[in-house]
């Protein structure tokens, strides 16, 4: 296979075109003053050249449809094709978001049922589907916590407690909502340091942001105790849904005492993930946060579905997007959940944790060091390459890059920050045993190379379209424009 592909402008020759690529004749009268004076600089290629160019680019892509993608904390599971097919039905595709409710009862009923299924599986009392991505879901969650305290006249609560094993985005979310972040440590076993939590709680506590299982890949065992302490201090509990896959159908955040949760439908509920989205960060709340949900939400009056807006929820934190989130993404999640059903949800959690524990046990047996050797993995786990870095001079990044040569996407590297030289590995439930065994064999060969031929790791990747990139220079001197050299 060809390993590189020029920029399409390099293929361009003056006058080369195809009828299929020419714009339809202008249908409107654009005033002379608004017309551009020079034609835009578009590439001029034949139809076949355009087809080949984009087909080749697509072949250079790495995707879940082509390879194993054990990217921890990201839940890169397979997206069943049927979810896509049903969401692409012309009746859904052609529906205008501002079409009257009377002509969209089918779509609205899907959204209403999706809200209900998410409530049932998380144990929350109400759900809003409007946040467009995980970050916006987090923002909505903390904004609701803030609105709740303000509505009660409790204006001094401006601190959000964030354990160091929380999801990496949580401190940013709290800051975006105008809160002060108070970080608390975790103990040796990965659980929250309860004494530090007690010391941090007080009249300024607005809430705490947690994910369970935590970013350390272990289940927070004292969650009920933590919830009781935070509530007693007047704070609320925020659940980051990053790791929901591990507990689906087994334990519910609502039952653990959480007041608000955001769910990444593009992780747990298998909508497409990566490439910048579109994502979906639906939020679920306990009874006391229900009045503050972002609008619109789908409601049901008698047998009719309708949008609930500011008139129905006067205390809402407001609107987060032009309309109501990414409808096509929500439909895919709806189909996924309907196909799985209650039993299937539970199996997602069981097989994702089984796959993670299988990988962990096998990698440990061949010589990899788990970060939390005393703990069972949740749906993901951490290994540390601290020893290899110290003794052989090969880092977690070298291991990650070498995996690319074996056709595997690298696991998450250097996250969580707590564990030095770490790889965070999440196989998900959709990988077959043979695929996991292939990954284990590749990891075994990496260990072998680390001791015999470390330069194989340090120089990797060797077989990818581009070799190791200078990411420091890319960050310091970012330049995303391409221009033809004058000679061309």
Subset of 154-193 contacting another protein (CB under 8 A): 171, 181
Considering only 475, 480, 487, 488, the residue that binds another protein (CB under 8 A) is: 475
Q: Is residue 43 within the footprint of another protein (CB under 8 A)?
A: no
In this structure, are strands 422-425 and 412-413 parallel, antiparallel, or unpaired?
Answer: antiparallel
Biggest alpha carbon distance in the chain? 74
Give the residue with the Cβ less far from another protein, 351 or 415: 415
Q: What is the number of H-type helices and E-type strands within the chain?
A: 16, 13
Q: Which two tokens stand for residue 20?
A: 């299929």
* Contact by Cβ (8 Å): 44, 14: yes
Residue 349: how many other CB atoms lie within 10 Å: 21
Q: Which stretch binds another protein (CB under 8 A): 21-29, 122-130, 346-354, 408-416?
A: 408-416
Contact map string, positions 442 to 471, toward another protein, x by CB under 8 A: -----------------------------x
Q: Which two tokens stand for residue 359?
A: 């990988």
Q: Which stretch binds another protein (CB under 8 A): 200-208, 377-385, 407-415, 479-487?
A: 407-415
Give the residue with the Cβ less far from another protein, 245 or 413: 413
Q: Is residue 415 within the footprint of another protein (CB under 8 A)?
A: yes
Considering only 420, 438, 454, 459, the residue that binds another protein (CB under 8 A) is: 420
- CB of residue 289 to another protein, shortest distance in Å: 28
Q: Among residues 15, 7, 5, which one has the least CA distance to residue 45?
A: 15
Q: Which two tokens stand for residue 444?
A: 């075994």
Q: Residue 308 pairs with which residues in a beta bridge? A: 297
Q: Which two tokens stand for residue 278?
A: 């579109």
Q: Is residue 417 within the footprint of another protein (CB under 8 A)?
A: yes
How far apart, in whole angstroms, are the C-alpha atoms of residue 241 and residue 219? 13
Contact map string, positions 367 to 406, toward another protein, x by CB under 8 A: ----------------------------------------
Residues listed for the chain: 488
- CB of residue 390 to another protein, shortest distance in Å: 9
Q: Is residue 414 within the footprint of another protein (CB under 8 A)?
A: yes
Q: Residue 330 class from Cβ within 10 Å (0-12 exposed, 13-18 middle, 19+ buried)? A: buried
Q: End-to-end CA distance of the chain: give it in Å, rounded.
A: 26
Q: Is residue 195 within the footprint of another protein (CB under 8 A)?
A: no
- CB of residue 281 to another protein, shortest distance in Å: 21
Q: Which two tokens stand for residue 32?
A: 């002379």
Q: Which residues contribute to the site for another protein (CB under 8 A)?
A: 171, 181, 413-415, 417, 420, 471-472, 475-476
């Amino acid at each position: 296979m060809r390993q590189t592909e020029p920029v399409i402008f390099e293929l361009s020759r003056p006058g080369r075109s195809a009828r299929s690529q020419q714009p339809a004749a202008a249908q409107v009268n654009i005033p002379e003053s608004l017309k551009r004076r020079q034609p835009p600089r578009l590439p001029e290629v034949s139809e076949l050249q355009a087809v080949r160019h984009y087909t080749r680019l697509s072949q250079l892509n790495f995707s879940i449809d082509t390879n194993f993608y054990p990217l921890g904390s990201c839940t890169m599971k397979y997206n069943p094709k049927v979810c896509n097919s049903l969401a692409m039905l012309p009746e859904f595709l052609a529906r205008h978001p501002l079409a009257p409710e009377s002509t969209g009862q089918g779509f609205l009923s899907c959204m209403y049922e999706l809200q209900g299924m998410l409530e049932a599986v998380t144990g929350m009392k109400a759900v809003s589907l409007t946040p467009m991505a995980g970050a916006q879901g987090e923002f909505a969650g903390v904004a609701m916590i803030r609105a709740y305290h303000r509505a009660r006249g409790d204006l001094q609560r401006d601190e959000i407690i964030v354990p160091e094993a929380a999801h990496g985005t949580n401190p940013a979310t709290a800051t975006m909502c105008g809160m002060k972040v108070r970080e608390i440590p975790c103990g040796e076993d990965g659980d929250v340091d309860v004494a530090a939590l007690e010391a941090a709680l007080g009249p300024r506590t607005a809430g705490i942001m947690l994910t369970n299982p935590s970013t350390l890949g272990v289940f927070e065992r004292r969650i009920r105790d933590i919830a009781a302490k935070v509530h007693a201090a007047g704070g609320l509990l925020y659940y980051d849904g990053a790791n929901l896959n591990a507990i689906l159908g087994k334990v519910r955040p609502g039952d653990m005492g959480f007041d608000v949760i955001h769910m990444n439908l593009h992780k747990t509920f298998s909508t497409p993930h990566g490439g910048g989205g579109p994502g979906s960060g639906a939020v679920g709340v306990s009874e006391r946060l229900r009045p503050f949900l972002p609008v619109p939400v789908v409601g049901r009056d008698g047998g009719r579905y309708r949008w609930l807006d500011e008139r129905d929820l006067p205390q809402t934190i407001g609107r987060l997007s032009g309309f109501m989130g990414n409808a096509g993404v929500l439909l895919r999640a709806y189909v996924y959940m309907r196909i799985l059903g209650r039993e299937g949800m539970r199996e997602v959690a069981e097989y994702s944790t089984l796959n993670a524990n299988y990988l962990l046990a096998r990698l440990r047996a061949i010589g990899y060091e788990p970060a939390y050797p005393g703990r069972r993995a949740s749906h993901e786990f951490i290994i540390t390459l601290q020893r290899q870095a110290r003794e052989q001079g090969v880092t977690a990044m070298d291991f990650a890059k070498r995996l690319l040569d074996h056709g595997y996407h690298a696991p998450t590297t250097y996250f969580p920050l707590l564990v030095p030289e770490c790889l965070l590995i999440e196989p998900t439930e959709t990988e077959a045993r043979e695929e996991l065994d292939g990954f284990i064999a590749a990891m075994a060969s990496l260990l072998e190379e680390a001791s015999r031929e470390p330069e194989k790791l340090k120089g990797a990747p060797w077989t990818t379209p581009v070799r190791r990139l200078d990411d420091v220079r890319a960050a310091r001197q970012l330049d995303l424009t391409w221009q033809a050299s004058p000679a061309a």
